[in-house]
Amino acid sequence: EVQLVQSGAEVKKPGESLKISCKGSGYSFTSYWIGWVRQMPGKGLEWMGIIYPGDSDTRYSPSFQGQVTISADKSISTAYLQWSSLKASDTAMYYCARASSVGYDGVPNDYWGQGTLVTVSS
């Protein structure tokens, strides 16, 4: 069974750093791109970027380029989303989601993590 299990909710202060995780299982983790999606409170889905765990090739939405870093550790089948200096506006639910086809980045997302709620407040 394909599963993406994300790390737990985080409460941080502005200016702090954070790294959240998404662990894949039940499939070849290195063969499928994994993306990250932001959902601010009461708002829609925003696609942030995508990584190929096989070689760590990464693509970012222009809206998020330079604001976050996406990485992966294929040895433990885990993708990451990190911030170096959080802002209150980073408060949101963050989802990881797997690409639906082997080796392709421009495909829909068929499996999703349960989401990680990040709250940034002083």
Partner 1 sequence: DIQMTQSPSSLSASVGDRVTITCRASQGISNYLAWYQQKPGKVPKLLIYAASTLQSGVPSRFSGSGSGTDFTLTISSLQPEDVATYYCQKYNSALLTFGGGTKVEIK
Site of interaction with partner 1 (CB under 8 A): 35, 37, 44-47, 50, 59, 61-62, 95, 97, 100, 105-110, 112-115
**Nearer residue to partner 1 within complex by CB, 50 or 72:** 50
- In angstroms, the CA 45 to CA 94 distance is 9
**Least spacing, CB of residue 58 vs partner 1, in Å:** 10
Task: Return the DSSP state at 89.
Answer: G
CA R_g for the chain: 14
**Nearer residue to partner 1 within complex by CB, 5 or 85:** 5
CA angle 50, 37, 96 (to 5 degrees): 70
- In angstroms, the CA 116 to CA 42 distance is 15
**Least spacing, CB of residue 13 vs partner 1, in Å:** 26
**Nearer residue to partner 1 within complex by CB, 83 or 95:** 95
**Least spacing, CB of residue 20 vs partner 1, in Å:** 15
Which alpha helices (H) appear in the chain, and where do they start and end?
A: none
**Least spacing, CB of residue 44 vs partner 1, in Å:** 4
Pairing type for strands 92-99 and 116-120 reads antiparallel
